[in-house]
Chain A
Amino acid sequence: AQKVTQAQTEISVVEKEDVTLDCVYETRDTTYYLFWYKQPPSGELVFLIRRNSFDEQNEISGRYSWNFQKSTSSFNFTITASQVVDSAVYFCALSEAYSGAGSYQLTFGKGTKLSVIP
């Protein structure tokens, strides 16, 4: 069974500080996808990034960066120079295929609530 663990339930930082959100996953598949989603106070979930299991390159998008390490089964998310607008709940998710019927399983972590204080 697959599992996603976000050990940090809540994090508070002061604006302009850097912050890293941890994500550790478990899977038996060799082919899988990892995602990060953001859920701001307004409630909708916003896609941030997708990474497949064969691509361990780190990714940077503006102030956001992601560190994927298969050796430790981790897919961590760093926000540089945090801003108040970054305040949200961030979810890490794992998707893997099972059976030949096209069905699959997407598992979300419990989320990390980030509060950026001005």
Chain B
Amino acid sequence: DAGVIQSPRHEVTEMGQEVTLRCKPISGHNSLFWYRQTMMRGLELLIYFNNNVPIDDSGMPEDRFSAKMPNASFSTLKIQPSEPRDSAVYFCASSTGTGYSYEQYFGPGTRLTVT
């Protein structure tokens, strides 16, 4: 059974460019999460979808970040324009139920470097 799939695994881009990260959750899971991991701030929840609807985006750092989930099997996290301080590993995770009490299954992450 396939786990959470993320692409690309690595992304190097120049400041000012648009970056799109992609995620395919585990089939049957109805909650999806985007996280960012840095040495300084650790793991931060950016946004949480339930049944394709954004429930909580309070963790999204600023308007340069946006996330969509057009259907149950696909989500994107877009950064436009990107800045060096956006360099981090971005994880997508999915879970069953509302996500409150259920364990999350993480993808392998996308390592983003903005130069």
Residues of A in contact with B (beta carbons under 8 Å apart): 33, 35, 37, 42-47, 50, 52, 91, 95-97, 101-106, 108-111
Taking residues whose C-beta sits less than 8 angstroms from the other chain, chain B's interface range is 20 to 34
Complex Cα gap A91–B35 (Å): 14
Residues of A within 8 A of B45 (CB): 105-106
Q: Which B residues fall within an 8 A CB radius of A? A: 33, 42-43, 45, 48, 50, 55-56, 89, 91, 93, 98-109
- A102-B55, A103-B55 given as contacts; is B43 within 8 A of A95 (CB)? no
Q: How far is the CA of A44 from the CA of B104 in the complex (A)?
A: 12
**At the interface, is chain A mostly helix, strand, loop or mixed?**
strand
8 residue pairs, one from A and one from B, having the closest CB atoms? A103-B56, A45-B106, A108-B43, A47-B103, A104-B100, A103-B55, A44-B108, A110-B42
When the two chains form their complex, are residues A33 and B100 in contact, meaning their CB atoms are under 8 A apart? yes
Distance in Å from the Cβ of A110 to the closest Cβ of chain B? 5
B104/A47 in contact, CB under 8 A:
yes
